[in-house]
Amino acid sequence: MSILIKIAEIEAEMARTQRNKATAHHLGLLKAKIAKLRRELITPKGGGGGAAGEGFDVAKTGDARIGFVGFPSVGKSTLLSNLAGVYSEVAAYEFTTLTTVPGVIRYKGAKIQLLDLPGIIEGAKDGKGRGRQVIAVARTCNLILIVLDVLKPLGHKKLIEKELEGFGIRLNKHPPNIGYKRKDKGGINFTSTCVQTELDQDTVKSILAEYKIFNADITLRSDSTADDLIDVVEGNRVYVPCIYVLNKIDQISIEELDIIYKVPHCVPISAHSRWNFDDLLEKMWDYLKLVRIYTKPKGQLPDYTSPVVLPDEHTTVEDFCLKIHKSLMKELKYALVWGASVKHNPQKVGREHVMIDEDVIQLVKK
């Protein structure tokens, strides 16, 4: 029996089951079974994998990577060529782009790589079309732009979300606040720091038993669902910010545009007429959460043209040195920092000092 048939049968059983406290335990078990089968779909058990698909993964360059995901013929290639000046074949029929097409833009001093991924078809997470490789590249992106056609129903948004979720990509979500630690003995130790509406000790035990885990510490620090627990146990989920780009707004009325603007995480644009690109670039910058640090050689003015760009969560002086070269850390005596992260300008700081956007730094060597 193929994996897809097994998944379909379990999904049918879940649809038949009424949702209440008595069945929560059973539903949790079924969700865990589906998660395990999905993992087998993504990484087949066979030893030597076949050819990975020509021209799919592209070497990562620049400070961040943005992937364009969407159904065929929604205007991803037009958007890429108008944003980055890269020629990605554009035509009026579906499935024009067959491999990943990279492009690079410079925005606010940061070098951002854009990837035009081939169109996703329904059932991509089950290995249809080139879907598996497309979504595997999407997992490596810092931000995903889901490009949608305004004229087609918003149901497409749900379909793409479902495809990405099936591959372990969580859009605009934070990792669940669950402590999970495996042990050698001692059984399941379950603690909860707040009221749980869905999970109780028996449900947690049965989900872990499905994964053959019988000794572990589980701490629930927020009201969690069975899906959250499965995500933590699987441990291969990626949490990626996402912007919905609604293309082809040159073909709708102002009233419709007003309604579209109320959709969260959404930017309406026209890739063909280059409308509203400023808004899109600004939102991309906000979601990427990048920090620019300017360098200042001794006795000279700061270089404001090419900042060192760091991700939001790694902005210490040590991270800055490692980004330039790992040997710098050994030679560093201290650093002088100007900007909003220090109390007075310049301030002498050590390697643990956390900098914020548009600080200026000068390194002093031993």
Six-digit token string for 203: 């449900």
* pTM listed for this prediction: 0.73
The Cα 293–Cα 361 span in angstroms is 7
Q: What is the pLDDT of residues 334-364, one digit of tens each?
A: 888 888 888 888 888 888 888 888 888 888 8
pLDDT at 7 over 70: yes
Would strands 143-149 and 64-69 be described as parallel, antiparallel, or unpaired?
parallel
Q: What is the pLDDT of residue 144?
A: 87
What percent of the chain is modeled with pLDDT above 90?
0
What percent of the chain is modeled with pLDDT above 70?
85
Number of helical H runs and strand E runs in the chain: 11, 16
Q: What is the pLDDT of residues 135-152, one digit of tens each?
A: 677 778 888 888 888 877
Q: What is the pLDDT of residues 194-206, one digit of tens each?
A: 887 777 788 888 8
The Cα 62–Cα 80 span in angstroms is 16
pLDDT at 48 over 50: no
Q: What is the pLDDT of residue 55?
A: 47
